[in-house]
Amino acid sequence: MDAQLPALVIVVPLLAALLVPLAGRRAAWGLVALALLLAFAGCVRLLVRAHALPEGEAIRYALGGWAAPVGIEYVVDRLNALVLTMLSGVAFLVALWMRRSTAREIRPPAVTGYYSVFLLMAAGLMGITITGDVFNLYVFLEIASITAYVLIAMGRRRQALYAGYSYLILGSLGATFILLGIGHLYMATGTLAMADIAAVFAREPQLYDSSVIRTAFAFFTVGLALKMALFPLHGWQPGAYAEAPSATSVFLAATATKVSAYALYRVAFTVFGVRFLETGLPVVRDALLVMACSAIVVGPLLAIRQHDLKRLLAYSSVGQIGYVVLGLALHNADGLTGSFLHFWNHAAAKGALFCVAGALAYRAGTTQVAALKGLGRRAPLTAMLLTVAACSMVGVPLTAGFLTKWYLARGALEAGQWAVIPVLLASSLFTAVYAWRLLQLAWFADEDGPVAEDVPWSMRAPSLVLGAACLVLGVAPLALPVAQAAAEALL
């Protein structure tokens, strides 16, 4: 069975997604949780196996027994094993968390459908991450996008329909750009398997000067930047996160945009190659650096003036994706390590924060920031969770967020990009401003808000695991060697 794991981690959630509508309402939630637990266990096993391999090698799985480049190949190396573990872990925790929340926020007849689509989206995101074929990547991207539109549009208010629709328009635009990029690549190289395209580039380096290849890379960059809501292409994100049902917000915010960022890493480093970034189209690298830095500053700045907690967190996500992209723009070992750490760190912190927003929606029926008043007295554990996750967002030492910023700063110095340091500091300052506003309301407000008691343990426990991860990842040397190995493998 061990040899079949790369296929099984995708097939099991996919299979469960199809069984859920047939299983009926009672068995549905158990099936979701079980499938995602199995997928998570499989991904952890893959992570361990990928690290046991010698450097430069990967676990390869040929679907249907057709070897690449003819068939589709799943490839697990150190980088995507890290992302897969994050994805399946968060998906499992959200599955545990969402039972009570969806029961309140989704119409009862639609709940099984919601679970089914949720699993499909998890399978789609994991498929994007695991595949070694650019066209297969596009197919999984469409699966993950279409399901995301549905999951957003199922929000309680009518505005959710509009939010889902505007994401649909912009997301389809992004997907089309990616497809055009794939088309250009195929036209120039005649193959779709990532390893095979890279081999063509190694054989014919003059291709780097071809305008077809440059256009392809530009299409990939713009398309994926739209999908990952990289400033200034973030227009769809605040509405989508704010109007979606709480469980969707937690899962989307913790995983979805990062998977697009991973896809950009994969395309840039594995398909086009490091040399292309350095010599082929340096202007894209500079553009990404500028976009990432402006995202890092503008995101938290916009978040400060929001009154809705979910919208505030969405704008903070606009800033956080900048950290994930910054490593690509710096492209040295420390910068990449910082960005790869952020795959886990941000998933834990933002997942935890959206769980707090979900808890507000569950207990108070609103996600207004003002509803946080008195949270520390009425729901101390959830308030603690808010505190820890907010500290991690700011980058307080001993939390996970600090490690990200530390390594990104080191990477920036190494690359001679001094301007990045004040950007990082300013961003931490702005983040501290909105984080302090939340904490001040939660702990020091005089009167009590609408939250009467803490959420049930079935919601509290999974969210506390995310909060604990913010601390553990910051202190224990768990993620660091994994991220460093992934960074070294890429360069």
Strands 73-76 and 59-62: antiparallel
Stretch that binds other proteins, among 16-24, 235-243, 378-386, 483-491 (CB under 8 A): 16-24
Sign of the alpha-carbon torsion through 449, 432, 328, 468: negative
Rounded distance between C-alpha atoms, residue 128 and residue 142, angstroms: 10
Instruction: Give me the least distance between CB of 184 and other proteins, in Å please.
Output: 27
Are the beta carbons of 87 and 254 closer than 8 angstroms?
no
Which tokens in the block code for residue 262?
A: 């991973």
Size of the site for other proteins (CB under 8 A): 19
Rg of the chain taking only CA atoms, in angstroms: 21
Which residue number, 54 or 108, has a Cβ lying nearer to other proteins?
Answer: 108
Instruction: Give me the least distance between CB of 87 and other proteins, in Å please.
Output: 20
Residue 258 CA from chain centroid, whole number:
3
Instruction: Give me the least distance between CB of 278 and other proteins, in Å please.
Output: 37
Which residue number, 6 or 395, has a Cβ lying nearer to other proteins?
Answer: 6
Instruction: Give me the least distance between CB of 126 and other proteins, in Å please.
Output: 14
Instruction: Give me the least distance between CB of 79 and other proteins, in Å please.
Output: 23
Binding flags for other proteins, 61-90, as an x/- string (CB under 8 A) = xxxxx-------------------------
- Ranges of H-type helices in 331-456: 333-364, 375-378, 380-394, 400-414, 420-444
The partner residues of 73 in beta bridges, in order of sequence, read: 62
Residue among 144, 337, 156 at smallest CA distance from 251: 144
Stretch that binds other proteins, among 18-26, 237-245, 260-268, 341-349 (CB under 8 A): 18-26
157 forms part of the interface with other proteins (CB under 8 A): no
Which residue number, 24 or 190, has a Cβ lying nearer to other proteins?
Answer: 24
Residue 387 CA from chain centroid, whole number:
22
Which residue number, 10 or 336, has a Cβ lying nearer to other proteins?
Answer: 10
Which tokens in the block code for residue 379?
A: 């729901």
Rounded distance between C-alpha atoms, residue 211 and residue 250, angstroms: 41
3-state secondary structure of 61: strand
Residue among 15, 139, 161, 212 that touches other proteins (CB under 8 A): 15
Binding flags for other proteins, 103-142, as an x/- string (CB under 8 A) = ----xxx------x--------------------------
Which tokens in the block code for residue 75?
A: 């490839």
Instruction: Give me the least distance between CB of 4 and other proteins, in Å please.
Output: 6
19 forms part of the interface with other proteins (CB under 8 A): yes
**Cα dihedral: 157, 161, 164, 167 (round 10):** -120
Residue among 354, 419, 455, 360 at smallest CA distance from 99: 455
Are the beta carbons of 253 and 354 closer than 8 angstroms?
yes
Instruction: Give me the least distance between CB of 16 and other proteins, in Å please.
Output: 10
Stretch that binds other proteins, among 8-16, 78-86, 186-194, 253-261 (CB under 8 A): 8-16
Residue among 2, 4, 365, 448 that touches other proteins (CB under 8 A): 4
Task: Kindly list the distances between the CA atom of residue 322 and the CA atoms of 216, 408, 424, in Å, as whole numbers in the listed order.
Answer: 22, 11, 10
Which residue number, 56 or 65, has a Cβ lying nearer to other proteins?
Answer: 65
Binding flags for other proteins, 214-233, as an x/- string (CB under 8 A) = --------------------
Stretch that binds other proteins, among 14-22, 331-339, 358-366, 475-483 (CB under 8 A): 14-22
Rounded distance between C-alpha atoms, residue 36 and residue 30, angstroms: 10
Instruction: Give me the least distance between CB of 7 and other proteins, in Å please.
Output: 4
Instruction: Give me the least distance between CB of 477 and other proteins, in Å please.
Output: 36
- Residue ranges in contact with other proteins by CB under 8 A: 4, 7-8, 11, 14-15, 18-19, 21-22, 61-65, 107-109, 116
